[in-house]
Structure 1
Amino acid sequence: MEKQKTKKAAKITLFALTWPIFIEILLHMLMGNADTLMLSQYDDNAVAAVGVANQIMSIIIVMFGFVAMGTSILIAQYVGAKQEEKAGHISVVSIVANLVFGIILSAVLFIFGKPLLQLMNLPEELIAPSLIYLQIVGGFSFVQSLIMTLGAIVKSYGFTKDAMIVTIGMNILNVFGNYLFIFGAFGAPVLGVTGVAISTAVSRGVGLIILFILVYKRVNGELPWSFLVEKFPKEELKQLLKIGIPSAGEHLSYNTSQMVITFFVASMGTTALTTRVYVFNIIMFAFLFSIAIGQGTQILIGYLVGEGKLQEAYRRCLKSLWIAMSVTIFIMIVIVFFQDTLLRIFTDNPEIIYLGSILIFMSIILEPGRAFNIIVISALRSAGDVKYPVYIGILSMWGVAVTVSYGAGIVMGLGLIGVWLAFILDEWLRGILMLKRWKSKKWVSMSFVDVQKTKDY
């Protein structure tokens, strides 16, 4: 089986890795609000209740992601280095670590759900339905923590289709469950928010079972659980946290800075706030490709670094960057060409359409910068250089994105145009600094596995 996995790692291409990841991410973005969309046909208060609960859940999911990030990078490097036993150790340690972490956070959400909702200044009439959703979905959030970990494992072995298929199945099951419990189809009781929560929890539970089966199939029916009995996995946990904690810090910093910028935008008025939402929903299709290519590149570079093919890893990043930026620019040109039609899908307000058109045009510059960041940061992380992107990211997010958004958007009175200018400066500054870091090749000595460097480096 070891030879089979090594052969898989050696032959896999960026396209083979990327297209299932793209579909999976697209489904997450399109279907992530399925509960809200279907509830809108039932009750507006229910939509608001679930929306606030999901804001809390999104923070929890970011926290689960730091173990999954470390899992993905470490397994890719160990598979590339043909150290299958250590890859198996990382697999079982990450599963148990995120399970324990998930159970703790699930208990917090279940027990302290009401105080958390009250902290968000939720109207009293919305607390009861929101609490039901938070206690059911949040109480089983450990299931989501395991799904993220198992998904990272199968993708790191190169089987990105597995994660995609499970995501498709979960979404179909979730929508069907929503249909049953919101509209009372086939004689089912109309349960509203409670039904949606049950549907979400059950679909994730089924997805978890299928992912476990797929993981066992991909590791030849074995996971070295006995390793955990033999000794405390201090070294493996240290490796996971060394990657995961900085990555989680960067994500939390980004989300927090975006919340602050949203506060600035909200002070500009409803038109500005609405325009930002509409434009983001349109241009997200451009950076979805970058995210997928970034994840695929991360896996490939992990393989190459593990094999000691550092020069090949160096070229892989630059080639992926060129592909991602070319695709992003092409998509943005298409979006600009159809911008009026796309904006009118959301609104007929001429003020929003006019402002949105300007922002979409500016995004021709913005989105390649975002692609710059996504690809090179993914490459640096997969090579073991995890701290530098965090330090630069935090400095730029707050020193440029937040500061310039306030200065240009509010003080200078440029509004959303000033905010978009801040986004452009932030993305391109970070992107250029990340590329400079990659070209410096300081990451060559930061691998998490012991590798023999090839002579071509």
Structure 2
Amino acid sequence: MGEEKQTDIKKPKSPINKDIMNIAWPVLIELVLSSLFGMINMMMLGNIPDHAYAAAAVSAVGVTNQPLFLGLSVVQALNVGGTALIARYFGSGKHDRMENVMKHVMIVSMILSVPLAALAFIYSDQIMAFMGAMPDTIAVGRGYFRIICISYLFQSFNFSITGSLRGIGETQIPMGVNLRANFLNVVGNALLIYGLFGIPELGIVGAATSTIIANAVASLLLVRYLRSGKSKLNFSFKHKFQFSLKTMKNLARIGFPSAMEQLVLRAGLILFIQIVSGLGTVVFAAHNIGMNILSLSFTLGQAFGIAASSLVGRSLGADDADLAEKYATNTSRIGTVFGTLLGIGFFFGAEFIVSLYSNDPEIIRNGAIALRVAAITQPFQSHQLIVAGSLRGAGDTVFPLISTFVGILLIRVLAATFFVNVLGLGLLGAWLAVMLDQVIRWLLIAMRFKSGKWKKVRIA
């Protein structure tokens, strides 16, 4: 039986690139359109007629995003462990273990998320002030942040399900669910931000309200799919949850370095934001627009990284390290080509893209500078994100932590401090630090992959 399963994995019915695209394209469409919806949402806020309110609203979203992402990083770390474990069990034919792994991730993510959301809700003003928000940004963003804290609980729950489904290569369902939820979010934003069709005009609070509704709907749709019996990943409330110390140890061994990586990443970004926010509300609004646009490019690396993680984990589960390396190499090549093409579009369309967010000339000028630097960074960024995904799929999560620590905390923060505060390069200096960070991380991750040590990671 073991040899037959190994042969099935070694000789897939479709070529390697087709396998990659079968998993990557739904994730790519999902993430790209989610980013586009997010861009549209920020455009809606940036085009509110009151320019002062609009700038404060855009800044508030940027300030609150990092604490939100910091909280989500805890869940993402669990997902990394869950995805890797489920992919290994799927590849080795141990399908009976997958449901219980997913339930561990679901339960633990909620245990961690509830107190984090409560603390952020209570201390919203203090957190925004710590992030460097100006008084006008805090006043505008307070209600938004508190509602987003509640929405965070639904997001955490959704991540635990989508991460599990991606471990077995089922990426089309999360895509469909998230597209419907994001479309609902955009429509809700238009209605609630501007007060269309007699609905009260809620501004930035309307954006948060629409987000929580969309995430709650996504939760219901994902649970309904799991209970339909159509998935290869079984799920039933009738199946008793069995706590497994071995599962928790595996999740911790794989997930803890990823959690630390996310904490280091968010800590570095918070320090980075504090540097940039000191340049003033208008420049900081331009920076947030640049980061919002940049999120579109991250989706490429994330999508192909998820594909690499699933395929590498499944191949190693079937004891085929050579196939795992082929999947990892081909995925990084394809994703890097797409990233380079996107960078070219960013570079030559910078002013036009930023102008979609705001008609303020100062915001457009500064945002275009940031976007052009980001364009040059794309090949390095895409490649390192995808190869890091391959390492995580193998359970090698320590080295991505090391590269993130070096890149974010040492390179980006120190370089930004020097370029902005010493050389006085303003927003250009901050984004040059971003580019330097990505290049260093690309180099470190590439060296780790080439060493081949990731092939020797064992999961019980």
**Partner residue of 1:18?**
24
Equivalent of 2:161 in 150, 162, 168:
150
CA distance in 2, matches of 1:359, 1:53: 20
Cα 1:138–1:396 change in 2 (3 A) is: closer
TM-score (norm 2): 0.81
**Partner residue of 1:259?**
270
Equivalent of 2:212 in 201, 208, 214:
201
**Partner residue of 1:290?**
301
**Partner SS for 1:32:** helix
Equivalent of 1:316 in 315, 324, 327:
327
**After the TM superposition, which residues 341-420 of structure 1 pair with which residues of structure 2 at under 5 Å, given as runs?**
341-342=352-353, 345=356, 362-363=373-374, 365-420=376-431
CA distance in 2, matches of 1:123, 1:275: 15
CA distance in 1, matches of 2:325, 2:412: 29
**After the TM superposition, which residues 47-126 of structure 1 pair with which residues of structure 2 at under 5 Å, given as runs?**
47=57, 51=61, 54-113=65-124, 116=127
The aligned amino acid for 1:175 is V
Aligned-pair distance for 1:104? Answer: 3.0
**1:83-133, Cα deviation, whole Å (9 max, x unpaired):** 111222211111121122233334434555566567668788887875554
CA distance in 2, matches of 1:182, 1:348: 18
CA distance in 2, matches of 1:349, 1:187: 29
Cα 1:395–1:169 change in 2 (3 A) is: same
Aligned-pair distance for 1:311? Answer: 0.8
Cα 1:421–1:193 change in 2 (3 A) is: closer
TM-score (norm 1): 0.82
The aligned amino acid for 1:326 is V
Aligned-pair distance for 1:242? Answer: 2.1
Q: Percent identity?
A: 26
Aligned-pair distance for 1:233? Answer: 1.9
The aligned amino acid for 1:74 is L
Aligned CA RMSD, in angstroms, stands at 3.9
Cα 1:277–1:33 change in 2 (3 A) is: closer
**1:238-264, Cα deviation, whole Å (9 max, x unpaired):** 222222222122223223323333443
**1:316-336, Cα deviation, whole Å (9 max, x unpaired):** 212222222222223323433
The aligned amino acid for 1:70 is G
Larger Rg: 1
Tell me, yes or no, if the aligned pair for 2:109 and 2:157 is still in contact at 8 Å: yes
**After the TM superposition, which residues 199-348 of structure 1 pair with which residues of structure 2 at under 5 Å, given as runs?**
199-216=210-227, 217-219=229-231, 222-223=234-235, 229-230=241-242, 232-267=243-278, 273=284, 276-339=287-350, 341-342=352-353, 345=356
Aligned-pair distance for 1:61? Answer: 2.2
**1:393-439, Cα deviation, whole Å (9 max, x unpaired):** 20232222222333344434555554444333332222222222112
Gaps of 5+ in 2: none
Tell me, yes or no, if the aligned pair for 1:49 and 1:127 is still in contact at 8 Å: no
**1:12-51, Cα deviation, whole Å (9 max, x unpaired):** 7111211221122123323236665556649738937963
Gaps of 5+ in 1: 450-457
CA distance in 2, matches of 1:271, 1:125: 12
The aligned amino acid for 1:223 is F
Tell me, yes or no, if the aligned pair for 1:305 and 1:447 is still in contact at 8 Å: no
- More off after superposition, 119-128 vs 166-175: 119-128
The aligned amino acid for 1:383 is A
Cα 1:95–1:429 change in 2 (3 A) is: same
**Partner SS for 1:159:** coil
